[in-house]
């Protein structure tokens, strides 16, 4: 069976060489260049999967340790209803509700902070401090307070997403410079008008940064909170019980779903960011 | 942002938080007291209610002084070797954190060096480094622990590996940015000296990446503590701050949960502060003015 390993390594070396060649070449057409830029990481990912498959099958690694990707894929196909139920419980209920509430309240408190410099000077250092703390530890307390169902997970997500949003929004609101604010003042615009027409657009790169950070934090918070007690459905629950039963392929299937959900969520936020902050220098260059 | 006069606002906010906390203690623990009084067939006065809610055995929300008391008991009074000492549990978590942080930092720097010097690696690895963070890695934590246990690896290393995975990302991103921070003119100057790639790296790229490195390290150490704590959850609550959290939630020991939580918070703050000091020290030695050196 050693030839499987050799084949996998050869395939990996081959894709590496292709990538090396592709990344050195300059393509005349803009479209072609973009496709190639997408192709390179894709090839790398495929190579990793092949390497994984080859090694686990070739060296006959026990299934309990690391199942080959093909087996995980098969498992995903076989247990779609369970995966969907878990996804619904964890992602559609806990993550989304917590994310909206946490980001929303963080944003509102940031607006409040902006009106009072005293509040801002008091809250901002604390917000920075709390962001560095292992907030995930409140999970058992939330489970105790709000019960086993998704509400307690949503509460953990709210706390985890609140502080990054607060800190980033406050920072973003001071991003518009003095000249621009003075201009708004010469137009005799009110605080609200300045906020909506100048300062929120100027703050949006910061706000989207927080939204992106929070999209991954939210999923982590919900899954880890499920380790502390949950009804018999949910991604975190499935992972912790199937690990106990040594059904590692099911765990990997759940992880694949989580990875897909996390990346899609992140991607969606990034897409919205691109359409909203099209004027930002980091995005402008790509459009030409 | 003006930095003057931060202390008074911060103290005000903290005291407001404490007042709200105590109000919540009374409010959230009151139903239990009413229940108890009703069963005993007595009425309960307000002052009695307030003092009772602050001293429950298993309160819904423990008061700050109860937590402080518990922390004093478990940190100072217990022997360090005792299983109930928070110093003992804290040390276990801390050692996993530091090991994971060290491996993660080295790995992150090596990857960043590779990415900066090899175009193919830049284009193929970098997107995956970013994608790897959209995966809720903490979800995999229990499996890594159990699987590594199955092949005979237990104790420190599996937990440290989770911390490694979490902490390498900020280091890679920060270091790639930092190693690329020298501008064209500086790189051209090195070129005119006919400096080799290695010389350019040690004399120009490495020193100019230092501020970026330390900023990432602060994030990395905080996040690797989180990794170590979560890594302790599935080991069946043997030892460590995470195990204290889990054991507390099993037996409804709220004071224990809160004191473990506060210990973790203090640990995190101390670690970030140490990195902050190292940051300002190194930059001072390099003759740069540290910016944002405070946590």
Distance CA B116, CA A184 (A): 43
Q: How far is B115 from chain A (nearest CA, A)?
A: 13
Distance CA A207, CA A202 (A): 10
Judge whether B230 and B242 are in contact, CB under 8 Å.
yes
Q: Is the CB of A35 inside 8 Å of chain B's CB atoms?
A: no
pLDDT digits (tens, 9 = 90+) for A113-153: 888 878 888 888 888 778 777 777 788 888 888 888 888 88
> Quick one: pLDDT at residue B109?
92
Q: Give helix B241-251 / helix B86-117 axis angle, nearest 10°.
A: 130
Tell me the percentage of chain B whose pLDDT exceeds 70. 86
Q: The tokens of A185 are what?
A: 């003042």
For residue B27, what are the contacts with CB-CB under 8 A and spacing of at least 6? none
Window from A71-75, A277-281, B102-106, B217-221 with minimum mean pLDDT = A277-281
- Residues in chain A with CB shorter than 8 Å from the CB of B142 are 227, 239-240, 243
Q: How far is A226 from chain B (nearest CA, A)?
A: 10
> Quick one: pLDDT at residue B1?
43
From the list B12, B134, B246, the residue facing A122 with the nearest CB is B12
Interface of A with B in 257-286 (CB under 8 A): 258-259, 262-263, 265-266
pLDDT digits (tens, 9 = 90+) for A199-256: 888 888 888 888 988 888 888 888 888 877 777 888 888 887 887 777 888 888 888 8
> Please, which pLDDT band fits residue B137 given cuts at 50, 70 and 90?
low
CB neighbours (10 Å) of residue B2? 7
The larger pLDDT score, comparing residue A194 to residue B2, is at A194
Backbone angles phi, psi at B80, to 5 degrees: -65, -30
Cα B178 vs. chain centroid, distance in angstroms?
Answer: 23
> Quick one: pLDDT at residue B98?
92
Contact across the interface for B119 and A235, Cβ inside 8 Å: no
Tell me the percentage of chain A whose pLDDT exceeds 70. 97
From the list A133, A227, A248, the residue facing B268 with the nearest CB is A133
Give the nearest chain A residue to B265 (CA atoms): A133
Give chain A's mean pLDDT. 83
> Quick one: pLDDT at residue A287?
47
Q: The tokens of B39 are what?
A: 């069963």
Contact across the interface for A137 and B229, Cβ inside 8 Å: yes
pLDDT for B60 beyond 60: yes
- Residues in chain B with CB shorter than 8 Å from the CB of A217 are none
Judge whether A213 and A266 are in contact, CB under 8 Å.
no
- Residues in chain B with CB shorter than 8 Å from the CB of A229 are 249
ipTM, two decimals, is: 0.72
**If you average pLDDT over each of B1-5, B83-87, B111-115, B233-237, which comes out highest?**
B111-115
Distance CA A218, CA A154 (A): 9
3-state secondary structure of B82: coil
Distance CA A109, CA A120 (A): 10
Give the nearest chain A residue to B295 (CA atoms): A129
pLDDT for B18 beyond 50: yes
From the list A118, A128, A143, the residue facing B249 with the nearest CB is A143
Contact across the interface for B147 and A248, Cβ inside 8 Å: yes
> Quick one: pLDDT at residue B72?
82
pLDDT digits (tens, 9 = 90+) for A210-220: 898 888 888 88
pLDDT digits (tens, 9 = 90+) for B158-199: 888 888 888 888 888 888 888 888 888 888 999 899 988 888
Give the nearest chain B residue to A126 (CA atoms): B10
pLDDT for B206 beyond 70: yes
Please report how many Cα atoms fall inside a 13 Å half-sphere around the Cα of residue B260, on the Cβ side.
32
Distance CA B97, CA B157 (A): 10
Give chain B's mean pLDDT. 80
Judge whether B154 and B136 are in contact, CB under 8 Å.
no
- Residues in chain A with CB shorter than 8 Å from the CB of B6 are 121-122, 125
| DSSP state letters, chain A | -HHHHHHHHHHHHHHHHHHHHHHH---SSHHHHHHHHHHHHHHHHHHHHHHHHHHHHHTT--TTT---HHHHHHHHHHTHHHHHHHHIIIIIIIIHHHHHHHHHHHHHHHHHHHH-HHHHHHHHHHHHHHHTS-GGGGHHHHHHHH-SSHHHHHHHHHHHHHHHHHHHHHHHHT-S-HHHHHHHHHTT--HHHHIIIIIHHHHHHHHHHHHHHHHHHHHHHHHHHHTT---S-SHHHHHHHHHHTT-HHHHHHHHHHHHHHHHHHHHHHHHHHHHHTTTSHHHHHHH-
Contact across the interface for A64 and B246, Cβ inside 8 Å: no
Distance CA A234, CA A223 (A): 8
Judge whether A226 and A234 are in contact, CB under 8 Å.
yes
Q: CA Rg, chain B, in Å? A: 25
> Please, which pLDDT band fits residue B295 given cuts at 50, 70 and 90?
very low
pLDDT for B93 beyond 50: yes
How far apart, in Å, do the first and last CA atoms of chain B sit? 15
């Amino acid at each position: 069976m050693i030839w499987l390993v050799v084949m996998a390594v050869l395939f990996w070396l081959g894709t590496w060489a292709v990538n090396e060649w592709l990344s050195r070449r300059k393509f005349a057409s803009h479209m072609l260049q973009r496709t190639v830029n997408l192709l390179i990481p894709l090839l790398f990912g495929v190579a990793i999967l092949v390497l994984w498959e080859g090694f686990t099958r070739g060296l006959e690694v026990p299934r309990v340790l690391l199942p080959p990707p093909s087996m995980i894929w098969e498992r995903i196909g076989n247990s779609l209803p369970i995966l969907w139920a878990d996804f619904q419980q964890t992602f559609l209920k806990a993550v989304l509700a917590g994310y909206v509430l946490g980001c929303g309240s963080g944003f509102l408190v940031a607006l409040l902070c902006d009106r009072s410099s005293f509040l801002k000077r008091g809250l901002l250092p604390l917000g920075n401090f709390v962001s560095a703390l292992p907030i995930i530890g409140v999970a058992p307390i939330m489970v105790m307070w709000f019960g086993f169902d998704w509400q307690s997970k949503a509460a953990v997500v709210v706390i985890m997403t609140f502080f990054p949003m607060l800190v980033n929004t406050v920072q973003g609101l001071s991003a518009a410079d003095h000249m621009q604010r003075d201009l708004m003042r010469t137009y005799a615009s009110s605080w609200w008008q300045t906020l909506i027409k100048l300062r929120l657009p100027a703050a949006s790169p910061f706000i989207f940064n927080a939204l992106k950070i929070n999209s991954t934090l939210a999923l982590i918070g919900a899954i880890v909170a499920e380790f502390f007690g949950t009804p018999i459905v949910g991604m975190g629950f499935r992972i912790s019980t199937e690990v106990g039963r040594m059904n590692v392929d099911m765990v990997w299937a759940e992880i694949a779903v989580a990875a897909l959900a996390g990346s899609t969520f992140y991607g969606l936020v990034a897409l919205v960011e691109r359409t909203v902050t099209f004027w930002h220098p980091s995005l402008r260059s790509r459009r030409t | 942002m003006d930095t003057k006069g931060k202390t008074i606002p911060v103290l005000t906010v903290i005291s407001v938080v404490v007042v709200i906390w105590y109000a919540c203690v009374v409010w959230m623990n009151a139903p239990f007291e009413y229940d108890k009084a009703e069963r005993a067939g007595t009425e309960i006065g307000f002052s009695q209610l307030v003092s009772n809610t602050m001293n429950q055995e298993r309160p819904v929300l423990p008061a700050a002084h109860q937590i402080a008391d518990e922390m004093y008991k478990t940190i100072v009074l217990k022997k360090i070797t005792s299983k109930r000492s928070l110093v003992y549990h804290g040390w276990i978590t801390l050692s996993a954190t530091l090991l994971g942080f060290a491996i993660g930092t080295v790995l992150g720097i090596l990857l960043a060096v590779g990415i900066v010097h090899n175009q193919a690696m830049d284009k193929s690895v970098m997107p995956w480094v970013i994608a790897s963070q959209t995966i809720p890695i903490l979800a995999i934590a229990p499996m890594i622990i159990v699987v590594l246990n199955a092949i005979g690896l237990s104790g420190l290393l599996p937990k440290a590996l989770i911390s490694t995975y979490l902490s390498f990302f900020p280091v890679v991103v920060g270091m790639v940015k930092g190693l690329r921070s020298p501008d064209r003119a500086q790189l051209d100057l090195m070129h005119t000296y006919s400096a080799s790639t290695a010389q350019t790296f040690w004399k120009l790229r490495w020193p100019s990446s230092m501020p970026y490195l330390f900023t990432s390290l602060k994030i990395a150490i905080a996040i690797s503590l989180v990794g170590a704590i979560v890594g302790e959850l599935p080991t069946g609550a043997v030892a460590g701050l995470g195990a204290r959290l889990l054991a507390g939630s099993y037996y409804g020991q709220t004071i224990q949960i809160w004191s473990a939580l506060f210990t973790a918070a203090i640990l995190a703050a101390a670690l970030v502060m140490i990195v902050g000091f190292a940051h300002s020290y190194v930059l001072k030695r390099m003759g740069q003015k540290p910016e944002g050196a405070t946590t």
